[in-house]
Amino acid sequence: MKEGDTMKSAMRIITTLSLFVLIAVSAHAQTSNYQMRASIPFKFTVGQKTLPAGDYTISFVNRASDATMMLIKSTDGHVSKIMQMLPVQAREIQESGKLVFNRYGQQYFLSQIWSPADQTGLQLPASSTERALERELAQNERERVTVALARR
């Protein structure tokens, strides 16, 4: 490899890394504008990942984007999960923020996120694990469980 080619390659790598850092800083700045927190007293599943009981922050990954990506992260920073959410409408404005979980026996699956004073919430599509469990169990064995959200 020629010296000029090595230099061009190094510049491409530096430019790419700089772009990733810029995107990460931008995403962090956007998420820090609006965060909610919740104390979840049970282990729960988000997509295919099971998270332990504990204190969590929930925030938008990129609020300016059309895709609603949310980040749920333990306050100790040990576990996190990014999730693609879909908008869902309520019949009336929600008085308080909340997380909604579907419970099947002792398994909890995050289903919805509702901000306070809003009529539009966010729904997480059911994972294949949740759909299989729902088929396996009778419909009346599913229970909706809510956990309060607080603004950070």
Domain of 29 in residue numbering reads as 1-33
pLDDT digits (tens, 9 = 90+) for 63-94: 666 668 999 999 999 999 999 999 999 888 88
| Residue 29 pLDDT | 42
Same domain, 74 and 91: yes
Give the pLDDT confidence score for residue 71 in this predicted structure.
94
4 and 58 share one domain: no
Q: What is the pLDDT of residue 52?
A: 97
Residue 17, pLDDT score: 63
- Tell me the two tokens of residue 151: 């603004």
Q: Which of 76, 78, 86, 20 is nearest to 49 (CA)?
A: 78
For residues 66 and 118, the answer to whether their CB atoms sit within 8 Å is no
Residue 91 shares a structural domain with residue 120: yes
Task: Report, as ranges of residue numbers, the positions in the chain whose pLDDT lies below 70.
Answer: 1-4, 10, 15-33, 63-67, 138-140, 152
